[in-house]
Structure 1
């Protein structure tokens, strides 16, 4: 019996020793594997850090290169701006060359009128001295005893054109359709005067045109007829130093 107990105890002791050795072996193997895993992780991290450091250095190098290019371009832009400024200054200081336009004789382009010409009114087949006035916008005609009437449903006016103040002077009556009324302000007054406007065919030398006239009492004026810019424009030029360029003066 005792022999069996001793044998059993020995077996248990040997079994415990074997288990302890196995556990130690497993622990040693676990530690070794853990160390290898840690070393592998450290290597991977080191490689990643090296790759990141290389990327950062490459990017820094690219940034430095771009900054150098920007500096070069900035200097070029400044130089070009200075050159353009100098060129503009030089151009502004240059005196422009005069433009020479060949002169064309006035006689070849437009009719020249004197400051006084004879104007013929076709309606009554009579001529009157007319003042050619570039300072007046509209033409004006002497008219006294103005009478407004209606003909065929339209408004007309009848007036005396004559400026002869003699008691036995014969009136020169004219009739014309009433175009409109216009307000005319004289230079010597601030009040505007309402005047009738008519249209008549007139002849001045070789010129035959229809002209509009405002009717006014010009008996105190030297000339019964005044031709303004609206009639002159696009038709003739005026030489104020001359008279009767296109017509002959009225014989007394």
Structure 2
């Protein structure tokens, strides 16, 4: 039996993505085919315990320069601590969460490592695992294809 092929979708090297469950919209993301796991910028990462003595990961996502930053800590009850290889080849222990990322009006539930990306230009990095999950290919000469498709779809509905 022949396997049915799902058409691939083209993403640019940069995309504007949403995190609906986190109430974050239009976050700049860089597609990085060298990274396996996606990453999101955060600071003040620490584990606290809730009233039932269960661990909670508390972080500040993004930073004050982002338009949707409000300084409210986010808490995650489901998280793990893993070894992640950084861009310079160094292995770091990072917390990893599951989150919904919206791109091309498609919601993808995927993993994000939490790291301080304040010295990086883009707060979100989209790795190979997400590219494979969404059946995306990257055109490095293009950018914001998801956002442009969303704007065009809204215009055609009007």
**Cα distance per residue 1:148-199 (max 9 Å; x no partner):** 1234564321211123359xx7425322234311112334364x21111111
Picking from 81, 84, 91, the partner of 1:184 is 84
Other-structure match for 1:119: 17
The answer (yes or no) to whether the contact 1:181–1:196 under 8 Å persists in 2 is yes
Higher strand share: 2
Picking from 106, 123, 146, the partner of 1:224 is 123
Deviates more, 1:108-117 or 1:223-232: 108-117
Other-structure match for 1:237: 137
Q: Which runs of 5+ in 2 are unaligned?
A: 1-5, 149-158
Other-structure match for 2:32: 133
Q: Which runs of 5+ in 1 are unaligned?
A: 1-107
The CA distance in 2 between the partners of 1:208 and 1:161, in whole Å, is 19
- The normalised TM-score by structure 2 is 0.76
Deviates more, 1:179-188 or 1:201-210: 179-188
CA root-mean-square deviation: 2.3
Picking from 105, 108, 116, the partner of 1:209 is 108
The answer (yes or no) to whether the contact 1:139–1:231 under 8 Å persists in 2 is yes
* Structure of greater Rg: 1
Other-structure match for 2:49: 150
The answer (yes or no) to whether the contact 2:57–2:79 under 8 Å persists in 1 is no
The answer (yes or no) to whether the contact 1:144–1:216 under 8 Å persists in 2 is yes
- The normalised TM-score by structure 1 is 0.49
